[in-house]
């Protein structure tokens, strides 16, 4: 976000003093097996990452944070025998890694048209889908085995640290990522074909998936949800509903007639799962296209393709501060995320309300810490709001 690394000396002094106040007062708990991890930090006014860094205890970590006051703080998802060794050293000794999912606004379709608050809201919906449907229901991870973390920026992380994931290699992790994202999902495979006797030949009959689990189960559920929704609509509304999936109006009208006209295809699908109710292959394929569109809309998640497969990834330290917003990298339970509002709940209480003068490069509507600000030109605002604007590149500290 914004002008990373481009703060003026006065801005560095101002923001670093508030970060120091936070780190000197806040107890930061490190991750499990802290001493086997590599650490990396970006410092104010210094180019490049400071790494590898290692700690033997949480007290060492806390001392470092209060002395160095980093702009960004990371630790490795991997465990090493000798984490202090360079990455290329054979003596470093990779011992396993946590499984990490990173969902960020960068992965959202159409994110550029959304406000910051809207981006955060949509990413949160994807995190909940990933957690509830894929990680918990499909893959069997429990609440105790998963940790949700607001990144402090534009997304969330999910950490899984159980023994059964630690030894997974990059290809295995990529398979998990592809599964939850629905990558390479082939609808020709999901909608099975059944041979039906017809005199001396056999034709292929398309069926609704009968799977109770996995993507097949989700698709089956969507088929009946779509049919239930469409039967409650007038024809004109149902046609518009289908057009949103890119289906031509004339084809959408024919699909509707096949489903709810004299042929009563609706009942055949509901009772037998039979998709050979449509008069043409074009109708059937476009109906399947509608289901595919709705599946992606309802169940789609977009994890960062580089993070999950990476067995040596650096990830943000929970309870550290994000150097692009000033927000706290905040761990959350599944129940807590429902009502969590980052621009309110991730603002550190250590920041004060003392008024600071900032210069705005353009008009801004800022919702932060439960307050709404309409900002223009030069404005005096609480320091927690000024920190966000300065670090995100939307405003500059104005000094006399």
Known catalytic residues are 102, 104, 304
Task: Annotate the chain with three-state secondary structure.
Answer: CCCCCCCCHHHHHHHHHHHHHHHHHCCCCCCCCHHHCCEEEEECCCCCCEEEECCCCHHHHHHHHHHHCEEEEEEECEEECCCCCCCCCCCCCEEEECEEEEEEHHHCCCHHHCCHHHHHHHHHHHHHHHHHHHHHHHCCCCHHHEEEEECCCCEEEEEECCHHHHCCCHHHHHHHHHHHHCCCCCHHHHCCEEEEEECCEEEEEEECCCCCCHHHHHHHHHHHHHHHHHHCCCHHHHHHHHHCCCCCHHHHHHHHHHHHCCCCHHHHHHHHCECCCCCCHHHHHHHHHHHHHHHHHHHCCCECCCCCCCCCCEEECCCCECCCCCCECEEECHHHHCCCCHHHHCCCCCCCCCEEEEEECCCEEEEECCEEEEECCEEEEEHHHHHHHHHCCCEEECCC
Contact present, 301 and 129 (Cβ < 8 Å): yes
The total of other beta-carbon atoms located within 10 Å of residue 109's CB is 11
Residues paired with 160 in a beta bridge: 99, 146
């Amino acid at each position: 976000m914004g002008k990373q690394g481009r703060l003026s000396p006065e801005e560095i002094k101002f923001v670093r003093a508030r970060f120091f106040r936070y780190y000197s007062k806040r107890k930061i708990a490190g991750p499990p097996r802290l001493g086997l991890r590599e650490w990396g930090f970006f410092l104010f006014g210094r180019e490049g990452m400071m790494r590898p860094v290692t700690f033997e205890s949480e007290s060492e970590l806390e001392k470092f944070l209060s002395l160095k006051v980093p702009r960004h703080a990371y630790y490795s998802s991997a465990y090493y025998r000798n984490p202090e060794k360079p990455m290329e050293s054979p003596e470093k000794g990779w011992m396993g890694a946590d499984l990490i999912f990173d969902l960020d606004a960068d992965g959202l379709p159409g994110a550029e048209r959304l406000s910051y608050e809207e981006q955060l809201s949509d990413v949160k919906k994807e995190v909940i889908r990933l957690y509830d449907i894929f990680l918990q229901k499909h893959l069997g991870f429990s609440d105790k085995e998963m940790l949700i973390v607001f990144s402090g920026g534009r997304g969330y992380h999910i950490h899984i640290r159980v023994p059964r994931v630690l030894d997974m290699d990059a290809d295995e992790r990529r398979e998990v990522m592809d599964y939850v994202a629905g990558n390479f999902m082939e609808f020709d495979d999901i909608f099975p074909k059944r041979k039906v006797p017809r005199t001396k030949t056999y034709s292929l009959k398309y069926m609704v998936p009968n799977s109770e689990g996995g993507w097949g189960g989700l698709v089956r559920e969507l088929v009946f949800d779509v049919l239930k929704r469409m039967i409650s609509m007038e024809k004109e509304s149902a046609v518009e509903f289908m057009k949103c999936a890119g289906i031509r109006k004339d084809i959408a009208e024919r699909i509707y007639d096949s489903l709810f006209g004299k042929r009563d295809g609706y009942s055949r699908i509901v009772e037998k799962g039979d998709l050979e109710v449509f008069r043409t292959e074009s109708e059937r394929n476009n109906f399947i296209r509608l289901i595919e569109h709705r599946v992606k809309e309802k169940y789609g998640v977009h994890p960062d393709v580089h993070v999950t497969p990476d067995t040596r990834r650096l990830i943000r330290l929970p309870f550290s501060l994000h150097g692009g917003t000033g927000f706290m990298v905040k761990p959350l339970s599944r129940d807590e995320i429902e009502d969590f509002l980052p621009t309110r709940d991730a603002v550190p209480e250590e920041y004060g309300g003392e008024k600071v003068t900032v210069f705005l490069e353009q008009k801004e509507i800022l919702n932060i810490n439960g307050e709404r600000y309409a900002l223009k030109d030069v404005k005096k605002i609480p320091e927690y709001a000024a920190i966000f604007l300065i670090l995100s590149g939307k405003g500059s500290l104005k000094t006399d």
